[in-house]
Structure 1
């Protein structure tokens, strides 16, 4: 199947500030694709470019096979979008805002919208102004899903929400992907992303550091804790994302594209003990954020060459 999103060599500047620099990635159908980065990394800019709300300075973007510059209106009609701060008419009730929005979509939009409100336990007669932030978020998600979009784009959807509401959002993402549709999730809630994402992209200051299936990242990245008898660091047979030293103990986050036998490290002179474990996505994210570009360059090139066909929805 053709990718739902295709971004090729995209650069976007705002004055002297480069928001995105030569970014390329693809998003396969039926996946939860997570876009991770700190505030100002370029996540929201990427979303605006995909929706045709901004234009790239160079490069190309396509969503559902449509050009984001020339066919933006059709893209927005076919895509569901939940911004971090949804713009809702406070004076309307949940029922009224669904009736109003249904005028922009074919039937049975309003019927599907009411089903979603019932699922999320949102009272039809309550005004938006009288709703909690979590309930407003449920209304926004219901509005974006009622036309059964092929692609749902979420920009920090769980920011500031309580635990139960966040869980409902996460369950919805999994259900959508299971139905063969696609979710693009921009978030800094790394722990939540780890629970639902199929593919992870990490951006830092407008540059794409890694695009990889989460399973592959977890299989290939290891934390090594190596105790030495001397002060010299051990020699490692793989790329190093991060390292730190505490006395004679060294801790590394490493990436290997093969099944490396780390037991061989214990045969090196001065190596006393070697311990390995699988790091969390948050630890992987921090390592990429803190690694300098020279150290991460080889890993970056290797990690971009993943095969979308290997990602199972």
Structure 2
């Protein structure tokens, strides 16, 4: 396979604040590549560098063999870009914004554009300032997809979308991949990356901590279950079950709080042997997952609030 994105030693600093440090990865043509990390980890900085909106302090970045800073105009002809924050003219309608971008790109397939608008249930007649955050996101997604670019670079694309539109977006991404085109997608949501991507780079505190297949994420995936029973249950019935890392019996003697890695099948089957009153599943934030996982490797946990 041919690499469409090549990043080597990319570094960007903001004075005393850290942006990203020595980031290197490749994205192959025809794949959906996830860029995963908690908010403030450096995902947007990396994307802005790829889009030549920022200039790196060190390192190189190439798209389709072209230098992202020296040949940025040629690169932009190949790309559909969705920024993390949209700044379209608030007094234009959604339709006018899409028409403007269509002309900018030398014309687009109007039938395909209409199809995208219908699929995302978007009303193009309203002014951009009248849209909710989710509807603004729809306009951004449509303008990124509508010219069928060779490469899509999408920064937190489902932010603000309702579940139905999130599912439709996932179908659109799969269609792009089936067409042999490439998607680079950033997210702080582990499940979103699992559902849409085949490879992933994980960034934390401005540095890549791993690059690999999405299937390899199972070793960091964590979630928690709180199960309340009708009467007291033996704690040892759940200790040592497959996937269970920690079990805590709460003060009422009837409620268990379990920390799990991977699937919950063994826990659910064991719980079914008793009278269950309620079961609540909670997925920790990605930062919580990272802190727990990387602390176990001996890495100190640090505040990421100063990372841009």
Give the TM-score taking structure 1 as reference length.
Answer: 0.70
| Equivalent residue runs for 1:199-218 within 5 Å | 199-218=199-218
Q: Deviations over 1:196-216 (max 9, x none)?
A: 111121111111111111124
Partner of 2:82: 82
- 1:293-312 per-position Cα deviation (integer Å, ceiling 9, x unaligned): 79279xxxxxxxxxxxxxxx
Contact 1:191–1:281 (8 Å) recurs in 2: no
Query: In the alignment, what sits opposite 1:290?
Result: 292
Secondary structure of the residue that 1:290 maps to in structure 2?
Answer: helix
Partner of residue 275, structure 1: none
Rounded Cα–Cα distance in structure 1 between residues aligned with 2:208 and 2:98: 38
Alpha-carbon distance in 1 for matches of 2:158, 2:298? 30
Q: How many Å apart are 1:169 and its aligned residue? A: 1.8
Q: How does 1:23-38 map to 2 (within 5 A)?
A: 23-38=23-38
Aligned pairs for 1:226-237 within 5 A? none
Is the Cα contact below 8 Å between 2:137 and 2:160 reproduced in 1?
no
1:191 equivalent in structure 2: 191
Structure 2 counterpart of 1:134: 134
Q: CA deviation at 1:59?
A: 1.1
Q: CA deviation at 1:284?
A: 8.8
Higher mean Cα deviation, 204-213 or 95-104? 95-104
* Structure 1 residues 149 and 93: alpha-carbon distance in aligned structure 2, compared to 1, 3 A threshold: same
Distance 1:289 1:100 in 2: 44
Unaligned runs of at least 5 residues, structure 2:
223-235, 237-244, 250-258, 263-281, 300-308
What is the rounded CA distance, in whole Å, between the counterparts of 1:170 and 1:7 in structure 2? 26
Counterpart CA distance in 2 for 1:207 and 1:120 is 35
**For 2:8 and 2:106, how far apart are their aligned partners in 1?**
33
Distance 1:284 1:40 in 2: 12
Q: 1:286 to 1:212 in 2, by over 3 A?
A: farther
Q: Deviations over 1:2-44 (max 9, x none)?
A: 1121111111111122211111111112222111112221100
CA distance in 2, matches of 1:168, 1:109: 20
Map 1:113-128 onto structure 2 (within 5 A): 113-128=113-128
C-alpha contact 1:98 1:110 (8 A) present in aligned 2: no
Tell me, in whole angstroms, the C-alpha distance in 2 between the residues paired with 1:132 and 1:252.
36
**Count of matched residue pairs:** 252
- State the alpha-carbon separation in 2 of the partners of residues 20 and 293 from structure 1: 20
Separation (CA, whole Å) in 2 of partners of 1:96 and 1:284: 38
Question: Does residue 102 of structure 2 align to residue 108 of structure 1?
Answer: no
SS of structure 2 residue aligned to 1:49: helix
**Aligned 1:164-183 pairs, distance under 5 A:** 164-183=164-183
Distance 2:165 2:16 in 1: 39
Distance 1:245 1:8, change over 3 A: farther
Aligned to 1:267: none
- Contact 2:190–2:286 at 8 Å: present in 1 too? no
Structure 2 CA distance for aligned equivalents of residues 64 and 161 of structure 1? 31
Alpha carbons of structure 1 residues 73 and 294: separation in structure 2 relative to 1, 3 Å: farther
Separation (CA, whole Å) in 2 of partners of 1:38 and 1:209:
13
- State the shift of 1:52 in Å: 0.7
Q: For 1:181 and 1:161, locate their aligned partners in 2 and report how far apart those are by CA, in whole Å.
A: 24
